[in-house]
Chains A and B, each alone.
Chain A
Amino acid sequence: MTQLASTSKPVYDSASYRVSAISELKELGKYRYLLGQLIRRDILTRYKRSVLGVAWTMLNPLGTMLILTFVFSNFFKSNVPHYPVYILSGLLVWNFFSQGTNAAISGLVWGGSLLKRIYIPSSVFGVSAIGTALVNLVLSLVPLVIVMLVDGAPFFLSMLFLPISILLLTAFTLGFGLFISSLAVFFPDVAEMYQVLLTAWMYLTPIIYPESLISARWLPVYKINPMYWMVKMFRLPVFEGRIPTWQEFLPAFAWAIGMLVVGWIYFTSKTEEYAYRV
């Protein structure tokens, strides 16, 4: 056994201890190993007892896409060439957002039982939830490529823009996930209400139907929706073969950064209360 060195500087002083947006970021840095462990746990355990394992991450969106294509292709086939690719490119974005934010809610509620007993920076649960969703998103790019090959859709050089699209989407989802999970701690009904909201939100975003179906009168309203812009960041390079113009990029960028900053500040401003509430 090694002898412990004595320290005279306080390790913890409640009088000067305040959780701020900056301090929480530093704490998260210290707990980065836990972050990795939580992501690993979520990915491993999700499919541990199923035969096909992680392959389900790829098969799941593929299955949904096939169903949607089968059901809706008769409606939209005439206006949308390569409809499966159109659906899948939007569906990946949506799945990431809905899975990530839902996991952030359940992660904080699960972590709550630990937050009551030991000190852990509470943001670690939300951030790891989005991290897990990010791994799933990258994995599900494989079925996208397969569908593009099978459907004979062209591959564009503009697809190299995708990492930036993913970055914006991740920032937005993280910010929103932190915000909604924090709200769910104080109002348990939020988790249930959010499911309804998500369904409505999905249908208000051009994911399964083409944008051309929206009447010009309503288009400005659709453009208020941040997910409209996030989906666009994917569709343009994958589907239309061009990178976004500044007019298309800036709204997405503003939503992503704005939501991340607001979500992070809101979440950390409530952090000291979680152990009392969850």
Chain B
Amino acid sequence: MPTVSKVIEEKIQFSTPEPIIQLENVSVSYRLPTERIGTFKEYAIRKLQRKIRLEKFWALTDVSLQVNRGEVFGLIGNNGAGKSTMLKVISKVLKPTKGRVVVYGRIAPLLELGAGFHPELSGRENVFLNGALLGYSRSEMESVFDEIVEFSELEQFIDSPIRTYSSGMFARLGFAVATAHVPEVLILDEILSVGDEAFQRKCNIRMKSFQQAGTTVLMVSHALDMLEGMCNRIAWIDHGKTQKIGEPQEVIAAYRGENL
């Protein structure tokens, strides 16, 4: 009997790829921070002078790509290239200025670990608060609570206020909450370098089990070697445009060639 992972592997290789995320000619523009108008007075004056120039900064221009179900898809590029903006557009945080984004699955974003934690509340209380921020219900959080505590190795500290936690404990709990449920699409923004080596191993095992369950993973990182080992495909973004999409080895080589 073939193992489950074997079956999925074959399915991915031999069935026609089924899209789960589609970007069609997506562009996103921000107004430059210097253009922010702080006061009514300023606003009124500029309005009168017709000086409210909408100086736009295009974080993404005309990006089209498709991520298939079950894929581990990596995004690489220099700082400010538009990687995080792309994740935001996909996870419904930003509506694209132009173009269209379609997602065929529930997205679980990995919140920057611990963002939304309150220092005065206990670990236990923060688990439920953080879960609620990620859109889970009470019963959904109760069913995974014990597993979260076990995975984050915080049994003794779960009822202490989070302000007493070390940064490692903080990050472990954040990771455990965000990955407590098997998501259809998991978004990772430069956060797989959490905790000590033993915990990193645990994280990797969890990521692998997600893949086996069919989770699509979209990850941004500067750790190119890690990406090469984990991803099925990689897109290289530069100045808001896709430079190259394809096999991890090829794309990373091209990116390195450009940046050395």
A residues at B contact (CB < 8 Å): 1-4, 6-15, 17, 30-31, 33-34, 36-38, 40-41, 44-45, 48-49, 113-120, 187-189, 272, 275-276
Contacts and interface: CB of A to CB of B under 8 A. Distances in A.
Nearest 3 pairs between A and B by C-beta? Answer: A34-B132, A1-B213, A14-B101
Given A44-B121, A114-B116, A275 B18 contact: no
21 contacts: A1-B212, A3-B214, A4-B182, A7-B105, A10-B103, A12-B103, A14-B89, A15-B102, A17-B95, A33-B132, A37-B129, A41-B125, A45-B118, A48-B121, A114-B111, A117-B88, A118-B91, A118-B93, A119-B93, A272-B95, A276-B31
Given A118-B134, A272-B95, A4 B209 contact: no
A31 B102 CA distance: 22
Contacts of B115: 113-114, 117
Contacts of B102: 10, 12-15
B58 interface: no
B47 interface: no
B184 interface: yes
A189 B40 CA distance: 8
Contact of B93 (A8, A45, A275): A275
B156 interface: no
Contact of A10 (B38, B104, B111, B137): B104
Interface of B: 4, 18, 30-31, 37-40, 43, 69, 88-89, 91-96, 99-107, 109, 111-112, 115-116, 118, 120-121, 125, 128-129, 132-138, 161, 182, 184, 209-210, 212-215
A174 B162 CA distance: 31
B214 A4 contact: yes
Contacts of A11: 103-107
By CB atoms of chain B within 10 A, which of A7, A14, A31 has the most? A14
Contacts of A38: 129, 132
A37 B132 contact: yes
B207 to A, nearest CB: 12
Given A11-B106, A12-B102, A189-B38, A119 B213 contact: no
Contacts of A8: 104
A119 B133 contact: no
Contacts of A115: 93
Contacts of B212: 1
Contact of B30 (A10, A17, A276): A276
A116 B239 CA distance: 21
Contacts of B89: 14
Contacts of A30: 135
A62 B71 CA distance: 61
A37 B120 contact: no
Contacts of B137: 33
Contacts of A34: 132-133, 135
B123 to A, nearest CB: 14
Contacts of B103: 10-13
A49 B120 contact: yes
Given A1-B182, A14-B100, A119-B93, 17 more contacts: A1-B210, A1-B212, A6-B214, A12-B101, A12-B103, A14-B101, A17-B92, A33-B132, A34-B133, A41-B125, A41-B129, A113-B115, A117-B115, A119-B92, A120-B133, A189-B38, A275-B88
Contacts of A272: 95
B120 A48 contact: yes
Contacts of A9: 104
Contacts of A3: 4, 213-214
Contact of A31 (B91, B135, B209): B135
Contact of B100 (A7, A15, A40, A44): A15
A120 B260 CA distance: 40
B104 A4 contact: no
A1 B209 contact: yes
A118 B108 CA distance: 9
